[in-house]
């Protein structure tokens, strides 16, 4: 089986200061979808209380990667059983608007460019998409 594995050792500390917590959530959000944080409302006090943020200082880490074809015993190659690699892939798909979204709100550029950060080729056309057209009647 091909795999990627990371083991990290260190000490985690819960971030409890509300300002530091919001700043940390902003960093995480902007890392995932740059530009989103500035467009949405900040977290409410209730949401902040329900969310834990940990700071993790890595003291030691190791990584292991296995890739390539199977390495079966020589005797196994004489068996009438399929062997090989079944590649798996995770990729984003076109955005699906919330059913409760008000009409006329365009999909933001940072969403349209989301795939481009991976390989430089966004899945969409170059023109903006009006998600109001996707709304259910």
Domains of the chain in sequence order:
1-68 (2.30.110.10), 94-137 (no CATH)
pLDDT at 137: 37
Whole-prediction pTM: 0.63
pLDDT at 117: 56
Q: Which residue has the tokens 């919330």?
A: 98
pLDDT at 42: 92
Q: What is the chain's pLDDT, residue by residue, as a tens digit (137 residues)?
A: 899 999 999 999 999 999 999 999 999 999 888 889 999 999 999 999 999 999 999 999 999 999 999 998 998 989 999 989 998 887 777 888 999 999 899 899 888 877 765 555 544 444 344 444 433 33
The torsion of the CA quartet 36, 41, 43, 46, rounded to 10 degrees, works out to -150
User: Are the beta carbons of 118 and 89 closer than 8 angstroms?
Assistant: no
Distance CA 49, CA 18 (A): 9
Question: For the chain, what is the total number of helices (H) and then of strands (E)?
Answer: 5, 2
Helix (H) or strand (E) holding 119, with range, is: helix 116-119
pLDDT at 43: 94
Distance CA 134, CA 46 (A): 32
């Amino acid at each position: 089986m091909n795999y990627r594995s990371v083991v990290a050792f260190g000490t985690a500390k819960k971030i409890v200061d509300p300002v530091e917590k919001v700043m940390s959530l902003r960093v995480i959000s902007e890392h995932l979808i740059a530009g989103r944080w500035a467009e949405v409302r900040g977290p409410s006090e209730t949401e902040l209380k329900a969310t834990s943020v940990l700071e993790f200082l890595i003291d030691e880490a190791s990584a292991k990667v296995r890739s390539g074809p199977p390495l079966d015993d020589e005797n196994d190659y004489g068996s009438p059983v399929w062997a090989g690699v079944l590649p798996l892939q995770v990729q984003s798909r076109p955005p699906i608007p919330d059913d409760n979204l008000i009409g006329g709100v365009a999909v933001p550029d940072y969403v349209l460019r989301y795939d481009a950060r991976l390989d430089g080729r966004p899945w969409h056309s170059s023109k903006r998409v009006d998600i109001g057209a996707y709304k259910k009647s």
